[in-house]
Amino acid sequence: MKIARRVPTQWQLRTQSLELGRRTIVMGVVNITADSFSDGGRFLAPERAVEQALRLLRHGAQIIDLGAESTRPGSRAGEPLQAAVSAQQEQDRLLPVLEMLLRHRPATLISIDTYKAATARVALAAGAEIINDVSGFAWDAAMSQVCAEARCGVVLMHTRGRPDEWLRQPSLDSDQIFPLVREGLSASLRNALNVGISPSAIVLDPGYGFGKRMSENFILLRHQAELLALGHPLLVGLSRKSFLRHALASRLGREVRSVSSMENAGVSAMTAAILAGASIVRVHSARAATEAAAIADALLEQPDSSTSGNED
């Protein structure tokens, strides 16, 4: 995997722009859910969610991504799937947190993790700047138009199938994985551009773990830099992914039980993704991610060829 050079650009958000490409942007995740795989229930109360958002900002996050519906399937064979959250339930969870956070920190850049157009519409009206759609505009036909009218920033993720299908999906051959992601993102991109969303508003996400099984994600990471040919900055979410847990268990010979024990693995994978061209990293814990990103950025700033000298 070669080091990929990011092209500095301005990401056009709803009311402002954000420079991407020179310095990695850390997006901190706040799950306002009862069933997220990593921290379900911890931040369901608005006060707790806002405390976590402020903690992430103190630790270096520059964007807060609020999500009120888990998209995980049953995480183990035989575990029942969670019922979908209605748009009204999603908004009832999201809006108090969004409004309270903006009262505490009016300048906070807030992204909303939703695939529902109705939720996106009210969240943007309440002050969100970005819509992060895990379906890449595929699960709600109205979403692309809502984002076009709001002129907000958008993240288009690649997802293979829906969460209730993931555990039953057949494995992919190694040569199928990257073309599948590239073509899926290309289709989402065409949809966005066709409804009038500005190219400068669009960031792409390969969707690690979303319909990709275990080692398929490592193959995708090996090829991630090739997605830069689509002409848009990349966002990656590798924090606390189950394929990292599986890799640790298989290579270290012991089960990885706690979420906290996965943090080093997540930071390692995130660093590889930055060196493969990611401009934004989506994480659950910001301090270590911010420090690792700073070191990766220092490497990326170096010229391709230079003379080496001694350091004191």
Catalytic residue set: 241, 282
**Of the candidates 105, 97, 118, 99, which has an alpha carbon nearest to the alpha carbon of residue 30?**
97
What backbone torsions phi and psi does residue 182 show, to the nearest 5 degrees?
A: -60, -45
β pairing state of 278-283 and 202-205: unpaired
For the beta carbon of residue 64, count every other beta carbon within 10 angstroms.
Answer: 28
Question: 288-294 long-range contacts, Cβ below 8 Å, gap at least 24?
Answer: 288/263, 289/26, 289/60, 289/239, 290/26, 290/59, 290/60, 290/61, 291/60, 292/267, 293/23, 293/24, 293/26, 294/24
Rg (CA), the chain: 19
Tokens 């056009």 belong to which residue?
12
